[in-house]
């Protein structure tokens, strides 16, 4: 039997170890070339960029395709994905580097490499973990009803409900979660 040991640490401004998430990526490009991204940049599908719902613009992320271990580093310059159960939208060039053009989506691991100066480091809270996807979806729906942004991180063995917040809003977010009966919440980072 394989044993797995997990290490959890609190994220502080001094602790810049990469935050890590796992879930599905998709790619976009056709029809968006030359249009403005949410950051104000002109979208170029041949650049290594990506869209993420919450991370600050300019954040550098290492994306690893878990089916073939290919990696690429992208810069967040847009918002999205707007499709359920996706954690990042990649430019066509990034998708090519990961060899996921034909499939359209891939199970990936995201590692935050750097955050632009002057930006608060995001805090990633895990609000729950379930073997049954329906339970994760129910918790995610409950959180969204209470204006808490949440996504489902899908791994090979379970479904985790993830909440993004800023360090300055962490206490208030935890209080909101506690009022909903969610008290076993922890910060996640990779050492």
Same domain, 135 and 65: no
Please, are residues 161 and 150 in contact by the beta-carbon 8 Å criterion? yes
pLDDT digit string, tens, across residues 131-151: 999 999 999 999 989 988 888
Closest by CA to 102, choosing from 87, 92, 116, 112, is 92
Same domain, 98 and 142: no
pLDDT of residue 132: 93
Final residue in a domain of this structure, among 91, 114, 137: 114
Closest by CA to 174, choosing from 183, 135, 154, is 183
Same domain, 139 and 110: no
User: SS3 for 94?
Assistant: helix
Please provide residue 64's backbone torsions phi and psi, each rounded to the nearest 5 degrees.
-115, 125
Same domain, 97 and 129: no
User: SS3 for 120?
Assistant: coil
Same domain, 153 and 171: yes
Please, are residues 110 and 88 in contact by the beta-carbon 8 Å criterion? yes
Residue 103: DSSP 8-state: T
CATH of the domain at 80: 2.40.40.10
Task: Give me the number of domains the chain comprises.
Answer: 2
Percent of the chain with pLDDT over 90: 54
Final residue in a domain of this structure, among 76, 98, 114: 114
In this predicted structure, the answer to whether residue 4 has a pLDDT above a threshold of 90 is no
Domain that holds residue 129: 122-187
pLDDT digit string, tens, across residues 45-101: 999 999 998 888 999 999 999 999 999 999 999 999 988 789 999 999 999 999 999
Same domain, 182 and 142: yes
- Two tokens, residue 143: 């959180």
Domain presence at residue 15 = no
44: how many CB neighbours lie within 10 A of its CB?
Answer: 17
Q: Looking at residues 170-184, what average pLDDT do you find?
A: 92
Domain presence at residue 7 = no
Domain presence at residue 174 = yes
pLDDT of residue 24: 93
């Amino acid at each position: 039997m394989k044993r797995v040991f997990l290490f959890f640490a609190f994220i502080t401004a001094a602790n810049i170890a990469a935050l890590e998430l796992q879930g599905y990526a998709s790619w976009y490009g056709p029809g968006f070339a030359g249009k403005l991204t949410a950051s104000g940049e002109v979208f170029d599908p041949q650049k290594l960029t990506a869209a993420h719902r919450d991370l600050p613009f300019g954040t550098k992320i290492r994306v690893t395709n878990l089916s073939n271990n290919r990696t690429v580093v992208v810069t967040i310059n847009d918002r999205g994905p707007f499709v359920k159960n996706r954690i990042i939208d990649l430019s066509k060039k990034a998708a090519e580097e990961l060899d996921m053009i034909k499939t359209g989506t891939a199970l990936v691991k995201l590692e935050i490499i750097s955050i632009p100066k002057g930006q608060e480091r995001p805090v990633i809270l895990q609000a729950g973990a379930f073997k049954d996807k329906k339970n994760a979806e129910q918790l995610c729906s409950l959180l969204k009803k209470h204006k808490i942004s949440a996504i489902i991180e899908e791994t090979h063995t379970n479904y985790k409900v993830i909440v993004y917040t800023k360090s300055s809003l962490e206490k208030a977010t935890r209080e909101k979660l506690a009022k909903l009966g969610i008290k076993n919440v922890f910060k996640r980072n990779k050492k």
